[in-house]
Amino acid sequence: MTHQRSPAQQAIDPALPQLCADVAVFAPLPRPLSYVVPAPMEKLLRPGMRVRVPLGRRSAIGVVVRLRPSGDEQWELKPISACLDEEVVALDGDSVAFLQRVSAYYAYPLGLTIKTALPAGLTQQKAPTAIQHVHYRATGQEAVLRGATQQAIYAFIVSQGEVAAEEIRASFPHPHAPLRRLEELGLVTRTQSTSSRDPFVGLDIKPDTPPVLAPEQQQAVTAICPDTEQPSTFAPFLLHGVTGSGKTEVYLHAIAHVVQVQHRQALVLVPEIALTPQLVKRFRARFEHQGVRIGILHSGMSVAERHDIWREINHNRIEIVIGARSAVFAPLQNLGIVVVDEEHDESYKQGEGLRYNARDLALLRGQMLQIPVVLGSATPALTRFERARAGHMTLLSLTHRALSRPMPVVEIVDLSGTKEPCVLGEQMLTALQQTLDAGEQAVLLLNRRGFSPYLICRDCGATFRCPNCDITLTWYRSKGMLTCNYCDYTQVPEEVCPGCGGATIEPQGVGTEQLEHTLQEYFPTAAIARMDRDSTRTKGSQQRLVEQMENREVDILVGTQMVAKGHDFAAVTLVGVVDADAALNFPDFRAAERCFSLLAQVAGRAGRGAVPGRVLVQTRTPDNPVLECALSHDYHAFCAQELPMRELLGYPPYGYLLNMICFGLNRAEVEQSAEQLSRLLRTHVEVEILGPAPCPLFRLRNRYRVQILLKAATRLPLHQVLARLPELIAALPTRVNLMADVDPLDMM
């Protein structure tokens, strides 16, 4: 924080401070602020450390990004109040430089970028403490004690030699006063130590034996990690392998080389928390018995757990970090390889605040550190596949399943002649019964949550809508509630229509909750489970569900797209897609890519064990070319039909996008501001401007939203627009906000 110096102050004290710190404060400020480094801190303070600084009339936390000698400032700088890091910095120098690049690319304040990267425990004034361990040890002196409790506790400590405080508390009621007296008499001594929370406590893993790699797998490993002890240079790889082809085994072998031969660290990203337990189990089985330490990072962990693992990484006690999107910021100081599994998945894109894409940041981090980055998928994003074809990445292909297992047979179930809504056709029901009779498992995909998408009045056609969002409320029969899946608004439905007074209010459409209920009616003795956002809200619920599938405790798993994401269940022989048309008819230029990827990925869950798999896809448009490509597992055929249309329209991978959204409480102000913004933007002749137009979800969380989509053949013109962002925001009314989404994926 700065104040202008008066001439009198300059005359009295013309000497400027010897050392200044530029601090990225955790606040929406356009640039770091400068502060004086107090003399006691000069030898302690380093870039990457957290500090508390004065900000106006309050104090704030920030991270030092640069230390410099004072210049010819015309301002009186305030001093830093306190340094919050003692043992180790929150971020190392490479991480600070990386986050500065991230901040610049996404045009997001540096302080808030760093706050996004750090675990919540390090963005507060007081970080969580490590677990405290207290032990008592007898001094060996003879003593005569009066109190019976003192005598008993002392005898217990003598017999054990050294005892944890927890054991004493468990064995004796109210031991605190007797222990204090024993310490005062010098009969026992107390020692304290700390430890980090271990996420693997009680989870014993048997070591595995690395299998002999297939020729294609070995070629991929050799390309990623040449047989040398020297660190690699930046080399981006796209590992395109059909489902079940052994991509994870390629990751394991490449990481083993980096960790055990090059003695460096590895970072593995997965798109969903649900995938973490299975992957962690495989890595632990491969590496833990060799003394390699593994850490996990994802949002399902508590604040204290995330803080502990961050500290362990900072102390270089972890060789391999596995985590979801935010793990891309893990402060690994000797990083040697980054792996992004299921790289096509849109979960890698952050939906609010700093709207980063972890896949892209993995490539940026690899480029800055000059290390290999491996992107793996059975259905790579078209942007990545085209870059690989153009020679900007090395394309590695795994064309066969491991152990020569066949790809599942995909069959189209034509519902086009069915007049009434059909949840499960006869063909699907028969296949499910056959699967259950064989003692095998089935997975059903329906990408809609709740019991029904909405309730409708049969008399007047009215529906129940969210008062905050431009969307109908989803009916959850188990809760007896109508819920908005965007803002979590809930209400109990009225028994009669509030519009016409009609009493015939019925659910329309099918969600995962209703599908689960229907299956239980058809197959009353089957064990049926559901995997969606509603059934996996509690901590550990996803992991328990995955373990139940692995232990064959579930016969039929129903779920949204979560069931399609990389799970490896050997007993699943049937996969059913209940409604393939919903994904095809989505109003987005990426709809075909999303649909093909979803169908191909969920189909890949079948037949991963010894028994061949079967996939049934229910649809009313059986001739759709996307379905035809999915039917034959032909990714290249899908690319051949989709990429020319993208090129014609200038959409990625043949162009770059920037989505600017005006939003506010007043509809007229938002629409007028969007028009004004559009006129200002049209001065950039190299940028194509689409809009302004209302977002498909025009009102969300009680904010009206209008978007302007900018397209350009290169990134430069779009970043020139981003450079004008402060000017554009200043031109808008104070009650209208502007959000810039770089490389957007969600156009809703």
Which DSSP string corresponds to 8-49? Answer: HHHHH--PPPSEEEEEEESSS-SS-EEEE--GGGTTT--TT-
Tell me: the pLDDT tens digits for 9-30?
333 344 544 789 999 999 999 8
Helix, strand, coil percentages (3-state) for the chain, rounded to 5, are 35, 25, 40
Of 388, 474, 446, 679, nearest to 564 by C-alpha is: 446
Residues linked to residue 21 through DSSP beta bridges, in sequence order:
35, 67
- For the residues 65-76, what does the mean pLDDT come to? 78
* CA–CA separation, 107 and 113 (whole Å): 10
Task: Grade residue 244 by pLDDT with cuts at 50, 70 and 90.
Answer: confident
Radius of gyration of the chain (CA): 30
* CA–CA separation, 353 and 336 (whole Å): 29
On whether the CB atoms of residues 403 and 245 are closer than 8 A, the answer is: no
- For the residues 625-639, what does the mean pLDDT come to? 89
The confidence score (pLDDT) of residue 563 equals 83
Residues 6+ apart with CB under 8 A from 608: 243, 244, 405, 568, 569, 570, 572
Task: Grade residue 204 by pLDDT with cuts at 50, 70 and 90.
Answer: low
Of 238, 296, 232, nearest to 267 by C-alpha is: 296
* CA–CA separation, 294 and 259 (whole Å): 11
Range with lowest mean pLDDT among 173-182, 217-226, 233-242: 173-182
Place of tokens 């489902």: 243
On whether the CB atoms of residues 110 and 31 are closer than 8 A, the answer is: yes
- For the residues 403-427, what does the mean pLDDT come to? 81
The confidence score (pLDDT) of residue 11 equals 32
Q: Does the pLDDT of residue 421 top 60, yes or no?
A: yes
- For the residues 679-689, what does the mean pLDDT come to? 84
What's the start-to-end Cα distance of the chain, in Å? 39
Of 249, 256, 268, nearest to 332 by C-alpha is: 268
- For the residues 196-224, what does the mean pLDDT come to? 81
Task: Grade residue 308 by pLDDT with cuts at 50, 70 and 90.
Answer: confident
* CA–CA separation, 107 and 740 (whole Å): 8
Would you give the distance in Å from CA 247 to the centre of its chain? 20
Q: What mean pLDDT is reported for the chain?
A: 86
- Can you read off the two tokens belonging to residue 638? 């899908």
- For the residues 40-49, what does the mean pLDDT come to? 89
Q: Does the pLDDT of residue 193 top 70, yes or no?
A: no
- For the residues 458-472, what does the mean pLDDT come to? 85
pTM summary value? 0.86
| Residue-by-residue DSSP string for 115-156 | HHHS-GGGSSSSPPPPEEEEEEEE---------HHHHHHHHH
Share of the chain above pLDDT 70, in %: 91
Of 366, 282, 303, 302, nearest to 294 by C-alpha is: 282
On whether the CB atoms of residues 493 and 475 are closer than 8 A, the answer is: yes
- Can you read off the two tokens belonging to residue 3? 């104040």
- Residue 681 φ/ψ, nearest 5 degrees: -75, -25
Collapsing DSSP to helix, strand or coil, 207 comes out as coil
Residue 676: count of CB within 10 angstroms of its CB: 17
Task: Grade residue 232 by pLDDT with cuts at 50, 70 and 90.
Answer: low
* CA–CA separation, 276 and 150 (whole Å): 49
Residue 145: count of CB within 10 angstroms of its CB: 17
Beta sheet of 481-483, edge-to-edge order = 474-476, 481-483, 490-491
* CA–CA separation, 358 and 379 (whole Å): 18
- Can you read off the two tokens belonging to residue 509? 């459409």
On whether the CB atoms of residues 364 and 397 are closer than 8 A, the answer is: no
Residues 6+ apart with CB under 8 A from 209: none
On whether the CB atoms of residues 335 and 265 are closer than 8 A, the answer is: yes
The confidence score (pLDDT) of residue 2 equals 42
User: Of the segments 370-384, 524-538, 676-690, which one has the largest average pLDDT value?
Assistant: 370-384
Collapsing DSSP to helix, strand or coil, 448 comes out as coil
**b/e 146-177 (16+ beta carbons within 10 angstroms → b):** eeebbeebbebbeeeeebebeebeeeeeebee
Share of the chain above pLDDT 90, in %: 45
Q: Does the pLDDT of residue 4 top 80, yes or no?
A: no
Tell me: the pLDDT tens digits for 579-617?
888 777 777 889 899 989 988 888 888 888 888 889 999
Range with lowest mean pLDDT among 36-40, 495-499, 666-670: 495-499
Task: Say which DSSP state 667 is in.
Answer: H
Range with lowest mean pLDDT among 112-116, 637-641, 730-734, 737-741: 730-734
- For the residues 442-457, what does the mean pLDDT come to? 86
Task: Grade residue 87 by pLDDT with cuts at 50, 70 and 90.
Answer: low
Task: Grade residue 144 by pLDDT with cuts at 50, 70 and 90.
Answer: low
Q: Does the pLDDT of residue 387 top 60, yes or no?
A: yes
The confidence score (pLDDT) of residue 419 equals 66
Q: Does the pLDDT of residue 433 top 90, yes or no?
A: yes
Of 278, 219, 245, 563, nearest to 376 by C-alpha is: 245
- For the residues 309-322, what does the mean pLDDT come to? 90
The domains found in the chain, sorted by start residue, are 2-122 (3.40.1440.60), 131-195 (1.10.10.10), 215-403 (3.40.50.300), 405-448+510-645 (3.40.50.300), 656-742 (3.30.70.600)
The confidence score (pLDDT) of residue 741 equals 94
- Can you read off the two tokens belonging to residue 363? 């490539």
Tell me: the pLDDT tens digits for 341-357?
999 999 999 988 999 99
Task: Grade residue 7 by pLDDT with cuts at 50, 70 and 90.
Answer: very low
On whether the CB atoms of residues 579 and 413 are closer than 8 A, the answer is: no
Range with lowest mean pLDDT among 158-167, 243-252, 453-462: 158-167
- For the residues 691-711, what does the mean pLDDT come to? 92
